[in-house]
């Protein structure tokens, strides 16, 4: 039996795609290899969202060449494959397949051709493709990534995704529910619905709120999350469905990108600072205890000190529970690269702003987390903690990481804990003692 090893970079959508590819190849007779040096086929599923994501992949391809079996097939998939296509084949003689996000159905055939020495780059978009008939081979033990939408119809000017993942298309509600029911049958209790602007999901008659209700009603599903939404697609009906569906967790990852109206406009985010603030207020009013995380880009072309101050002040005002922060990275072919060259900021300015933002984000998260020590949470135990020491890593509904002693629970268990301490970002938790039976009088 030939074996395949897949390495994944980038977002959860890529993780889900890797699981689909593995499933497809397993169905075609491949065993899953745990290491690249043992595999007959090595696939690197790539991200193109920032320059440094691509640099990492290029470095990794060089390393892999040294580890791989001499006759192993090397394939590059995902967003960087889509973006570079034939250019990747030209640049690296060891790579024999380059397959973009809509081409995974052909993988077994492409690998067969590669064995016969044919190299190929497949970068066509396929608006019908949802891989509905693929049986995903899941990496994670307790939660399932469920793609519900592929591609993106927004055109944020910094973003490569519309070019690497193509136009937006929503997967059918019945297909989503079938997959959710099947993971629930396998004993998974949490699902994460994935889409580039996931809350714009629609099948023409039903909206994302309907999808949330339907997923939340599947037997055995205790937690529903989704990522990433766009602020403009949080209609009242979607927010009402979140509030009214008990399985939907009290956490939203709501990309803000900037707090300056001028920058938001140049980014073509299609909302203003006030619009973002209003979205947060509506979500918080509907969902008590909601935790909010975000993505922020610093150093977008033309960002002034005053613009950056606006980002800092909105960060403070919203009070994010966490934030992913990025330095702007110019991506070939995106509209932002056509802005006047004199708007590009010096590295030192970007670095300085980035450091200041990270400090602020951490301080705010810490302050919010410190206040939560002593509170109770239901946590789902996800995996062994990386730091070891007989600890398990669990997660609360509001997306806080809580370390618990491994003797109190097993992976996949739900547990009621009291938060006993915080590093500022993660927590320790102790199980809430089951109430002792009252002594029997007499
Ligand atoms: N430069 C920097 N950050 C980017 N992101 C997307 N494109 C770029 C870019 N060109 C960030 C955004 C997005 C997250 C996934 O990556 O913040 O929400
Ligand atoms: Fe995911 Fe975007 Fe990276 Fe593609 S470019 S892997 S969609 S984060």
Looking at residue 141, its pLDDT comes to: 83
**In sequence order, what DSSP letters do the residues of 66-84 get, joined into one string?**
HHS-TT-EEEEEEHHHHHH
Domain 373-434: which topology? OB fold (Dihydrolipoamide Acetyltransferase, E2P) (2.40.50)
Looking at residue 440, its pLDDT comes to: 60
Q: State in Å: Cα 434 to ligand 2 middle.
A: 44
Instruction: Note the pLDDT tens digit of each residue in 320-350.
Output: 999 999 999 999 999 999 999 999 999 999 9
Q: How confident is the model at residue 140 (pLDDT cuts 50, 70, 90)?
A: confident
Using CA positions, which residue lies closest to atom 18 of ligand 1? 295
Q: What is the mean pLDDT of the chain?
A: 96
Ligand number nearest to the C-alpha of 157: 1
Looking at residue 139, its pLDDT comes to: 86
* Whether the Cβ atoms of residue 30 and residue 63 lie closer than 8 Å to each other: no
Position in ligand 2 atom list of the atom nearest CA 45? 6
Contacts of 381 (CB under 8 A, 6+ apart): 142, 392, 393, 394, 404, 409, 410, 411, 412, 413, 414, 415
Tell me how far apart the alpha carbons of residues 212 and 199 are, in angstroms, rounded to a whole number.
10
Does residue 434 register a pLDDT over 70? no
To test the ligand 1 pocket, which listed residue (259, 297, 339) has its Cβ within 8 A of the most ligand atoms? 297
Q: How confident is the model at residue 442 (pLDDT cuts 50, 70, 90)?
A: very low
Q: What percent of the chain has pLDDT over 90?
A: 95
Looking at residue 147, its pLDDT comes to: 98
Q: State in Å: Cα 412 to ligand 2 middle.
A: 28
Q: What is the mean pLDDT of residues 311-318?
A: 98
Position in ligand 2 atom list of the atom nearest CA 79? 4
Ligand number nearest to the C-alpha of 337: 1
Packing angle, helices 236-244 and 208-216, rounded to 10:
10
Q: What is the mean pLDDT of residues 56-71?
A: 93
Q: Which residues pair with 95 in a beta bridge?
A: 74
b or e along 259-288 (b: 16 or more beta carbons within 10 Å of the residue's beta carbon)? bbbbbbebbebebebeebbebbeebeebbe
Does residue 432 register a pLDDT over 60? yes
Give ligand 1 pocket residues (Cβ under 6 A). 49-50, 158-159, 255, 257, 295, 297, 326, 328-329, 331
Using CA positions, which residue lies closest to atom 7 of ligand 1? 159
Does residue 26 register a pLDDT over 80? yes
Q: What is the mean pLDDT of residues 51-66?
A: 92
The two tokens of residue 249 are 């967790």
Radius of gyration of the chain (CA): 23
Does residue 200 register a pLDDT over 60? yes
Ligand number nearest to the C-alpha of 255: 1
CA max distance for the chain: 87
Q: Is 195 in the pocket of ligand 2 (CB under 6 A)?
A: no
Each domain of the chain, given as residue ranges in start order, spans: 3-122, 143-371, 373-434
Q: State in Å: Cα 363 to ligand 1 middle.
A: 22
Domain 3-122: which topology? Rossmann fold (3.40.50)
Candidate CATH numbers 3.80.30.20, 1.10.10.60, 3.90.70.10, 3.40.190.10; the one for domain 143-371? 3.80.30.20
Instruction: Note the pLDDT tens digit of each residue in 247-286.
Output: 999 999 999 999 999 999 999 999 999 999 999 999 999 9
Tell me how far apart the alpha carbons of residues 231 and 239 are, in angstroms, rounded to a whole number.
11
* Whether the Cβ atoms of residue 211 and residue 233 lie closer than 8 Å to each other: no
Looking at residue 388, its pLDDT comes to: 66
Contacts of 297 (CB under 8 A, 6+ apart): 158, 257, 258, 267, 325, 326, 327, 328
Q: Which of 147, 114, 150 is nearest to 41 (CA)?
A: 114
**DSSP-based three-state secondary structure for 204:** coil
Instruction: Note the pLDDT tens digit of each residue in 110-126.
Output: 999 999 999 999 999 99
Ligand number nearest to the C-alpha of 165: 2
* Whether the Cβ atoms of residue 215 and residue 221 lie closer than 8 Å to each other: yes
**CB count, 10 Å around CB of 64?**
20
Helices (H), 226-286: 236-244, 261-267, 273-286
To test the ligand 2 pocket, which listed residue (8, 17, 49) has its Cβ within 8 A of the most ligand atoms? 49
Q: What CA–CA distances, in Å, run from 126 to 34, 86, 130, 142, 367?
A: 31, 18, 9, 31, 47
Q: Is 81 in the pocket of ligand 2 (CB under 6 A)?
A: no
Q: Is 159 in the pocket of ligand 2 (CB under 6 A)?
A: no
Q: How confident is the model at residue 22 (pLDDT cuts 50, 70, 90)?
A: very high
Q: Is 211 in the pocket of ligand 2 (CB under 6 A)?
A: no
Instruction: Note the pLDDT tens digit of each residue in 160-187.
Output: 999 999 999 999 999 999 999 999 999 9
Does residue 395 register a pLDDT over 90? yes
Position in ligand 1 atom list of the atom nearest CA 257? 17
């Amino acid at each position: 039996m030939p074996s395949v090893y897949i390495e994944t970079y980038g977002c959860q959508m890529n993780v889900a795609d890797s699981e689909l590819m593995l499933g497809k190849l397993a169905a075609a007779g491949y065993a899953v290899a745990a290491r690249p040096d043992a595999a007959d086929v090595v696939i690197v599923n790539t991200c193109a969202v920032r320059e440094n994501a691509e640099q990492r992949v290029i470095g990794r391809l060089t390393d892999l060449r040294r580890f791989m079996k001499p006759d192993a097939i090397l394939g590059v998939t995902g967003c960087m494959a889509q973006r570079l296509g034939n250019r990747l084949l030209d640049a690296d003689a060891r790579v024999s397949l380059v397959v973009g996000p809509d081409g995974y159905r052909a993988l077994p055939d492409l690998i067969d051709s590669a064995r016969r020495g044919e190299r190929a780059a497949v970068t066509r978009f396929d608006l019908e493709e949802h891989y509905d008939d693929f049986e995903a081979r899941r990496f994670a033990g307790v939660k399932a990534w469920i793609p519900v939408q592929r591609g993106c119809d927004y055109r944020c000017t910094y973003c490569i995704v519309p070019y690497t993942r193509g136009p937006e298309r929503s997967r059918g509600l019945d297909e989503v529910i079938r997959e959710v029911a099947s993971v629930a049958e396998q004993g998974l209790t949490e699902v994460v619905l994935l889409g580039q602007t996931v809350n714009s999901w629609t099948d023409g008659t039903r909206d994302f709120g309907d999808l949330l209700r339907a997923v939340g009603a599947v037997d055995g599903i205790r937690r529903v999350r989704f990522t990433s939404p766009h602020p403009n697609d949080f209609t009242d009906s979607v927010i009402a469905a979140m509030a009214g569906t008990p399985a939907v967790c009290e956490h939203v990852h709501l990309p803000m990108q900037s707090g300056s109206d001028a920058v938001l406009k140049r980014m073509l985010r299609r909302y203003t600072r006030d619009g973002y603030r209003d979205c947060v207020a509506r979500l918080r009013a509907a969902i008590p205890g909601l935790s909010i995380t975000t993505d922020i880009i610093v150093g977008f072309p033309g960002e002034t000190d005053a613009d950056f101050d606006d980002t800092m002040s909105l960060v403070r005002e919203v009070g994010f529970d966490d934030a992913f922060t990025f330095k702007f990275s110019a991506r070939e072919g995106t509209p932002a690269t056509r802005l006047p060259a004199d708007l590009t900021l010096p590295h030192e300015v970007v670095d300085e702003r980035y450091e200041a933002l990270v400090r602020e984000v951490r301080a705010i998260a810490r302050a919010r987390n410190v206040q939560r020590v002593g509170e109770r949470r239901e946590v789902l135990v996800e995996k062994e903690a990386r730091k070891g020491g007989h600890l398990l890593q669990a997660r609360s509904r509001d997306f806080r990481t809580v370390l618990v002693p491994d003797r109190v629970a097993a992976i996949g268990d739900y547990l009621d804990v009291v938060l006993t301490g915080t590093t500022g970002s993660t927590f320790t938790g102790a199980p809430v003692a089951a109430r002792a039976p009252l002594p029997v009088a007499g």
